[in-house]
Amino acid sequence: MRDRLQQCRRVIIKVGTSTLTHPGGHLHLGRMEALVRQIADLHFEGRQVVLVTSGAVGAGLGKLGLAERPHEVAAKQALAAVGQGLLMQRYEGLFGEYGLVVGQVLLTREDLEDEHRRASAAQVMERLLAWGVVPIVNENDTVTSEEIRVGDNDTLSARVAALIGADLLVLLSDVDGLYPADPHIHPGLRPLSVVSPDDDLDGMAGGAGSANGTGGMVTKVAAARICAAHGIPMVLAKGDRPGILRSIMAGEEAGTLFVREG
């Protein structure tokens, strides 16, 4: 099954807060550089890559010199307003070193659920990919209230994968994959290599993710099920592992592959 990943041409890569930021919430520039380098390699192999990224709030934290991530919704929205442009500026500079152009795509739940707005978003992303641009997607956190949010970038990335008919979704997180039980309670366990989203995975999913993130294993399993409904495989892997994207796309044993059998 992993050998088939070498043939994937349209790939969505989601990178989470835990990978992109330091424990205090500020952007981890070294990891951003490593991520961009790998995406550039995939691009020059002839693949179309869409990056779904967290990190706007972390960029805002760094710019304003705040010590910790706030809990108040309005404060997080304000930090996203400050940080989103800075995040894109950083990505633009990093991708520019490889001669690549990026395009910002900010989405809300309404953009993905309203028929006309969904079609418009798909057309824009198709045009960007046709031009060789790397679309960089995030939820429009500044204007989106809690009641109408997509809620987490795991779900957002799966819905984007379905929107544009991707061949693969890769979730880069702070875990090596899906474990059969909590590895903190049962040390020595190894992540599962291949699972079906149709299996009973909820007991393995556990609770929330990192302190700075919005998701956890529950949202990753949910993303895998969204992808499976559209025939799209998904890989969950550790974002700070050196060369992780190259390993996944080469069909090597890396992370957990979620794929529906048959």
Annotated binding-site ranges for ATP: 14, 173-174, 214-220
Inter-CA distances, 187 with 58, 125, 157, 180, Å: 31, 43, 31, 11
Residue 152: left (phi > 0), alpha (psi -120 to 50), or beta? beta
Return binding residues for substrate. Answer: 54, 141, 153
Distance CA 94, CA 39 (A): 11
Distance CA 207, CA 204 (A): 9
Return binding residues. Answer: 14, 54, 141, 153, 173-174, 214-220
Contact 27, 21 (CB under 8 A): yes
How is residue 20 written in tokens?
Answer: 């992109």
How is residue 63 written in tokens?
Answer: 């710019």
